[in-house]
Amino acid sequence: MIDFGDIFKSSFLENLKEFSVLDTVIGLIFALIIGLFIFLVYKKTFAGIMYSTGFAMTLVGLSLVATLVIMAVTSNVVLSLGMVGALSIVRFRAAIKEPMEIVFLFWSLAAGIVIGAGMIPLAVIGSLIIGVILVIFSNQKTRRTPYILIVSCNDEKAENSARELVIQSVDKFVVKSKTVSAGGIELTCEIRVKDDSTSFVNRVNEVEGVESVTLVTFNGEYMS
């Protein structure tokens, strides 16, 4: 005959004895710290058009969730199989606007997995190295910001005068396209400015025969 005590005897309750509150709290605290570090690095190195606070906070949440999931999986083999089946039906449809966002997503996920597996020193050291590298390369890219210069001229004489002035005023000058029509000449160039100074654009616009000059930031993807 089954008594009242046998009803509560199950593998589920036995697994509760293996659960460590201290290990869970320590793991989640480190996941939160590293997640905030990833958040700060993303904010520091962001170079897109519109900064998304929601995506940045997702990086923190992703490291916490991954840590919690890996802690549960490593404590029970049966649970790990069920977790794989549950996660296999999940579909993510959020659009990735910048290629670097993929790096930060995988970084947060990897940090959570490593912490959940108990390798906290590896997660801390690895995150510090990754963060330093991203910040260094981001600052280097900022100092060498590329621009696209569009010059509309009436004739070839004005084009040559504007071209010479631009070459003298910038560090790099590369012609991307040139359009010639009955209305005049449109020259599109990639340039690298000196000391972030764009005052030369005003002088180019003052050249006789130049109708307009447009300077825009170049995102690295040129469509001819």
Residue 183 maps to which CATH number? 3.30.70.260
Domain of 156, in residue numbers: 146-217
Tally of domains within the chain: 2
- Give the CA radius of gyration of the chain: 28
Residue 224 lies in a domain: no
Residue 111 lies in a domain: yes
On whether both 29 and 135 belong to a single domain, the answer is yes
Tens-digit pLDDT profile for residues 177-198: 888 888 888 988 888 887 777 8
Gap between the Cα atoms of 125 and 130, Å rounded: 9
Residue 93 lies in a domain: yes
pTM for the whole thing?
Answer: 0.60
Tens-digit pLDDT profile for residues 88-100: 555 556 666 677 8
**Better-predicted residue by pLDDT, 222 or 198:** 198
On whether both 191 and 129 belong to a single domain, the answer is no
Of the three residues 114, 143, 172, the one that is the final residue of a domain is 143
On whether both 109 and 169 belong to a single domain, the answer is no
Gap between the Cα atoms of 75 and 15, Å rounded: 9
Q: What is the pLDDT at residue 125?
A: 94
